[in-house]
């Protein structure tokens, strides 16, 4: 992928382990923004920052879908995640060996009805620059988000 660095995680794929994977996603956001050492209290990421919030939310939705649909909540399954951290961009590749599906058959949710479920793929697509799914085995999700720094205002001295 030509990224500056890659971080890999292989983990049990359960809702119990989701927070671990989400925390790593959040920490990679700091690296994409080019920030140095994480502050001990904030841990470096800022979920008020649209980049952080959007990629964390999108990843969490896809992770949930893998646990619930691809693996059917079966214990003993794993997930492989690779974080490709580049200059101003993060690509997350997620591999699982669960059930495949055709994302073109997933209907767009009726947002006026405020559905309780069925929003994961829609959320990921609306928050990321690119969402790619390649059925396997293994299944591959590729989630890409570019960091677009907010315009900074100049302060008068």
Q: Report whether pLDDT(139) > 50.
A: yes
CB 62 within 8 A of CB 139: no
pLDDT of residue 153: 47
For residues 81 and 48, the model is more confident at 81
Residues 11-61: tens digit of each pLDDT: 999 999 999 999 999 999 988 887 655 554 455 567 778 899 999 999 999
pLDDT of residue 157: 46
CA distance 61 to 2: 26
For residues 153 and 4, the model is more confident at 4
- Domain 5-146 annotated CATH 3.30.565.10: yes
Residues 108-133: tens digit of each pLDDT: 766 555 556 666 788 899 999 999 99
With a CB cutoff of 8 Å and minimum separation 6, the contacts of 71 are 13, 77, 96, 98, 99
């Amino acid at each position: 992928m030509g990224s500056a660095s890659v971080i890999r995680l292989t983990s049990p794929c359960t809702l119990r382990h989701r927070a671990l994977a989400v925390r790593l996603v959040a920490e990679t956001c700091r690296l994409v923004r080019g920030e140095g050492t994480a502050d001990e209290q904030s841990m470096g990421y800022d979920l008020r920052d649209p980049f952080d919030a959007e990629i964390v939310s999108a990843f969490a939705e896809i992770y949930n879908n893998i646990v619930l649909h691809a693996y059917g909540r079966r214990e003993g399954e794993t997930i492989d995640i690779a974080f490709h951290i580049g200059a101003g961009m993060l690509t997350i590749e997620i591999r699982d060996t669960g059930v495949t599906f055709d994302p073109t058959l997933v209907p767009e949710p009726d947002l006026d009805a405020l559905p309780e479920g069925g929003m994961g793929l829609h959320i990921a697509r609306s928050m990321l620059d690119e969402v790619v799914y390649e059925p396997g085995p293994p299944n591959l999700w590729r989630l890409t988000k570019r960091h677009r720094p907010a315009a900074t205002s100049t302060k008068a001295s």
